[in-house]
Structure 1
Amino acid sequence: MANKDYDKDLFVPLEREDDTSEKISRPSLTFWQDSWMRLKKNTGALIGAWVLIIITFMALAGPFFNDYGFDEQNLIRSKLPPKVQGLENIDWLPFQGTMHRTFEAETLEDAKEDAINRFKRDEENIEMTVVDDGSNGGPAIVDAEFDVYANQGFEDEYFWFGTDTLGRDQWTRVWKGTQISLYIAVLAAFIDMVIGVAYGGISAYYGGRVDDYMQRIIEILIGIPNLVVVILMILILSPGILSITIALTITGWIPMARIIRGQVLKLKNQEFVLASRTLGASDSRIIMKQLVPNVTGLIVINTMFTIPGAIFFEAFLSFIGLGLQPPVASLGTLIDEGFQSLQTFPYLMIYPAIIISLIMIAFNIVADGLRDAFDPKMRE
Structure 2
Amino acid sequence: MADDNKKNLDHLFVLTEDNQQSNEKINRPVTTFLQDAFRSLRRNVAAMISLVVLIIIIVMAAFGGQMNEYDSTTQNLSWAKMPPKVQGLENIGWLGLDGTDSETIEASTVEAAKERGLARFKNDEEHITFDVKSEGDGTEDSAKVVATHDVYASKDMEDTYFWFGTDGLGRDLWTRTWEGTRISLFIAFLAAAIDLVIGVAYGGISGYYGGRADNVMQRIIEIITGIPNLVVLILMIIIMGSGIVSISLALAITGWTGMARIVRGEVLKLKNQEFVLASRTLGAPNGRIISRHLIPNVASLIIINTMFTIPSAIFFEAFLSFIGLGLQPPTASLGTLIDDGFKSLTTYPHMLIFPAILISVIMIAFNLLGDGLRDAFDPKMRK
TM-score by length of 2: 0.92
- Deviation string, structure 1 residues 12-44 (Cα, Å, up to 9, x no partner): xx9964023323354210111111111111111
- Deviation string, structure 1 residues 219-258 (Cα, Å, up to 9, x no partner): 1122222332233223332111111111122111011101
Secondary structure (helix, strand or coil) at the match of 2:272 reads coil
Structure-1 separation of matches of 2:254 and 2:280: 33
Residue 203 of structure 1 corresponds to which residue in structure 2?
Answer: 206
Task: Map 1:275-294; keep pairs closer than 5 Å.
Answer: 275-294=278-297
Secondary structure (helix, strand or coil) at the match of 1:325 reads coil
Contact 1:200 1:260 (8 Å CA) reproduced: yes
Residue 237 of structure 2 corresponds to which residue in structure 1?
Answer: 234
CA drift of 1:279 comes to 1.7
Secondary structure (helix, strand or coil) at the match of 1:131 reads strand
Residue 38 of structure 1 corresponds to which residue in structure 2?
Answer: 40
Residue 29 of structure 1 corresponds to which residue in structure 2?
Answer: 31
Contact 2:78 2:170 (8 Å CA) reproduced: yes
Residue 303 of structure 1 corresponds to which residue in structure 2?
Answer: 306
Q: Which amino acid aligns with 2:121?
A: F
Residue number among 265, 268, 277 corresponding to 2:268 in the alignment: 265
Secondary structure (helix, strand or coil) at the match of 2:95 reads coil
CA drift of 1:153 comes to 2.1
Q: Which amino acid aligns with 1:112?
A: K
Structure-2 separation of matches of 1:157 and 1:180: 28
Structure-2 separation of matches of 1:227 and 1:249: 13
CA drift of 1:141 comes to 2.9
Residue 320 of structure 1 corresponds to which residue in structure 2?
Answer: 323
Contact 2:233 2:246 (8 Å CA) reproduced: no
- Deviation string, structure 1 residues 138-175 (Cα, Å, up to 9, x no partner): 74332211101111221110001100000000011011
In structure 2, relative to structure 1, the CA distance for the partners of 1:295 and 1:128 (3 Å cut) is: same
Contact 2:109 2:138 (8 Å CA) reproduced: no
Structure-2 separation of matches of 1:244 and 1:135: 58
Q: Which amino acid aligns with 1:374?
A: F
Structure-2 separation of matches of 1:280 and 1:370: 35
Residue 346 of structure 2 corresponds to which residue in structure 1?
Answer: 343
Contact 2:108 2:138 (8 Å CA) reproduced: no
Q: Which amino acid aligns with 2:377?
A: F
Residue 246 of structure 1 corresponds to which residue in structure 2?
Answer: 249
In structure 2, relative to structure 1, the CA distance for the partners of 1:265 and 1:106 (3 Å cut) is: closer
Task: Map 1:1-380; keep pairs closer than 5 Å.
Answer: 17-134=19-136, 139-380=142-383
Secondary structure (helix, strand or coil) at the match of 1:124 reads helix
Bigger CA drift: 204-213 or 140-149? 140-149
Residue 5 of structure 2 corresponds to which residue in structure 1?
Answer: none
Structure-2 separation of matches of 1:225 and 1:184: 19
Structure-1 separation of matches of 2:114 and 2:347: 19
Give the length in aligned residue pairs: 368
Q: Which amino acid aligns with 2:267?
A: V
Structure-1 separation of matches of 2:333 and 2:253: 21
CA drift of 1:132 comes to 2.9
Structure-2 separation of matches of 1:365 and 1:236: 38
Identity of aligned residues (%): 65
Task: Give 5+ residue unaligned stretches, structure 2.
Answer: 1-15
Query: Which structure 1 residue ranges, 4+ long, deviate > 4 Å from structure 2?
Result: 135-138
CA drift of 1:376 comes to 2.4
Bigger CA drift: 366-375 or 100-109? 100-109
Residue 4 of structure 1 corresponds to which residue in structure 2?
Answer: none
In structure 2, relative to structure 1, the CA distance for the partners of 1:128 and 1:208 (3 Å cut) is: same
Structure-2 separation of matches of 1:231 and 1:189: 22
Q: Which amino acid aligns with 1:24?
A: I
CA drift of 1:281 comes to 1.5
Secondary structure (helix, strand or coil) at the match of 1:66 reads coil
In structure 2, relative to structure 1, the CA distance for the partners of 1:133 and 1:376 (3 Å cut) is: closer
Structure-2 separation of matches of 1:141 and 1:268: 73
CA drift of 1:137 comes to 6.4
Structure-2 separation of matches of 1:298 and 1:103: 55
Contact 2:236 2:250 (8 Å CA) reproduced: yes
Secondary structure (helix, strand or coil) at the match of 2:93 reads coil
Structure-1 separation of matches of 2:337 and 2:278: 56
Secondary structure (helix, strand or coil) at the match of 1:92 reads helix
Structure-2 separation of matches of 1:79 and 1:178: 20
Contact 1:234 1:247 (8 Å CA) reproduced: no
- Deviation string, structure 1 residues 180-228 (Cα, Å, up to 9, x no partner): 0000110121012210111111111111110111111111122222332
CA drift of 1:124 comes to 0.8
Secondary structure (helix, strand or coil) at the match of 1:19 reads helix
In structure 2, relative to structure 1, the CA distance for the partners of 1:16 and 1:225 (3 Å cut) is: farther
Contact 1:188 1:246 (8 Å CA) reproduced: no
Structure-1 separation of matches of 2:63 and 2:51: 18
CA drift of 1:54 comes to 1.0
CA drift of 1:114 comes to 2.1
Secondary structure (helix, strand or coil) at the match of 2:188 reads helix
Bigger CA drift: 19-28 or 32-41? 19-28
Structure-2 separation of matches of 1:118 and 1:85: 27
